[in-house]
Amino acid sequence: MRPRARGLLVPLVLAGCVILLSTGEILRHATAAVNDPFVTLRMTRLASDVPIAEFDLTALDGKTVDSKALIGKVVLLNFWATWCGPCKEEMPSLAKLQAKFDPTQFQVVTVTTDRHPKGIKQFLDHLGIHLPVLFDEQEEVSRAFMVRGLPTTVLLTQDGHAVARAVGPRAWDSEESVALVRYVLEGTK
């Protein structure tokens, strides 16, 4: 090999090694993101060091639900309305997700600002859905969770901290959703 060609070969080999190493690093990060259940479901992680604001809301059945009663369970808090098409479309998948877990460990809780209990009951009965519906008539809870669009879903840990949120509908009965709930149930944040 000519000396000049050899002189060009060394920088090319070094450049190739740098490219390969950086590509490997990119692939490692991409693989980690694919294995992250929050990323898979396009959920935004939240700083989970602050507990949620306490609340008392009236449920569809007339009982009052205190947020303290949710402590000890992983909770998927879904903000929705009957006038919101995507909200209504994702409701069956929320019910299916709930059915996959022990309700003493995981609970789907829906929150609405609607003021028509009869219409909500008819809608849920028509679909055969039995999820708790809480009325946020003053929108205080919606404001506390910074709900700006519907549906908005917030995932709470067993200790009452919000760990992630999603704006827009999701297939909550998907394998990815089940994996996310298991991930949080196991205490991994």
pLDDT in tens, 16-34: 555 555 555 443 443 444 5
Residue 146 Ramachandran class (φ > 0 left, ψ -120 to 50 alpha, else beta): left
For 69-101, how does the pLDDT look when each residue is reduced to its tens digit (9 = 90+)?
999 999 999 999 999 999 999 999 999 999 999
* pLDDT band, residue 8 (cuts 50/70/90): low
CB within 8 A of 113, min separation 6: which ones?
81, 135, 136, 137, 139, 142
| The pLDDT value given to residue 32 | 40
pTM of the model: 0.81
Return the CATH number of the domain spanning residue range 37-185: 3.40.30.10
Q: Is the pLDDT of residue 50 over 80?
A: no
| Average predicted confidence (pLDDT) for the chain | 86
For 115-152, how does the pLDDT look when each residue is reduced to its tens digit (9 = 90+)?
899 999 999 999 999 999 999 999 999 999 999 999 99
| The pLDDT value given to residue 3 | 59
* pLDDT band, residue 186 (cuts 50/70/90): very high
Range of weakest confidence among 10-24, 56-70, 163-177: 10-24
The two tokens of residue 121 are 């009951």
153 and 77 in contact (C-beta within 8 Å)? yes
Check residue 161 and report its DSSP letter.
B
| The pLDDT value given to residue 49 | 73
How many CB atoms are closer than 10 A to CB 116?
13
| The pLDDT value given to residue 31 | 40
| The pLDDT value given to residue 34 | 56
- Give the span between the Cα atoms of 127 and 134, in whole angstroms: 18
